[in-house]
Amino acid sequence: MIQLLGAALLVAGCGGLGMAAVSRLDGRVRDLRELSAGLEILQRELGWRLAPLPKALEAAAGGAKGRAARFFEFCARGAGDLDGTPFQHLWQEGLTQCALRLNREDGELLEQLGPVLGRYDGDSQRQAVEGVLVGLHSQQAQAEEDRRRLGRVYGVLGITAGLFLTIMLI
């Protein structure tokens, strides 16, 4: 009886590891989607309404959800009282502190906005955001493909590894 319980727990544990990997893939897709939504709002606010950067970031936070909304809120709060610190440092700090589930390429793409936001005219900022949005949409499509392709593999691999270990230990 104890062996059967141990085998079930081993299979469940390995299956859980596989599902955790699937969850990371889902999280990246979700964060990229929400960042894109927020950046689209930021683009409109900066380029067409010519809103000040803190207000534009607040609007972006209102249009995003989850971790992306926290990122935009963090940047909006900090943009209001920079005290001589370049916005670029705040943007970089937000990317690291808000625990966005991004890969290295996603982060590098977003880092390009830090030096531009708040420094140039509205049209230049809008164009910079537009360029990053194009890259983010490409990264999002790749993330969705990875999720579709690798998601099943990770789930099945977790269960299979649990079954294999169970057979080896019995």
Q: pTM for this one?
A: 0.83
pLDDT tens digits, residue range 68-95?
Answer: 999 999 999 988 787 778 889 999 999 9
Tens of pLDDT along 122-162?
788 889 999 999 999 999 999 999 999 988 888 888 888 88
Taking the C-alpha atoms of residue 100 and residue 94, their distance in angstroms, rounded to an integer, is 9
pLDDT computed for residue 35 by the predictor: 95
Greatest C-alpha distance within the chain: 72
Q: How far apart are CA 42 and CA 143, in angstroms?
A: 23
The residue ranges of every structural domain in the chain are 2-169
Written as six digits, the tokens of 166 are 């169970």
Report pLDDT for 125.
87
Q: For position 1, what pLDDT does the model report?
A: 81
Q: How far apart are CA 115 and CA 170, in angstroms?
A: 60
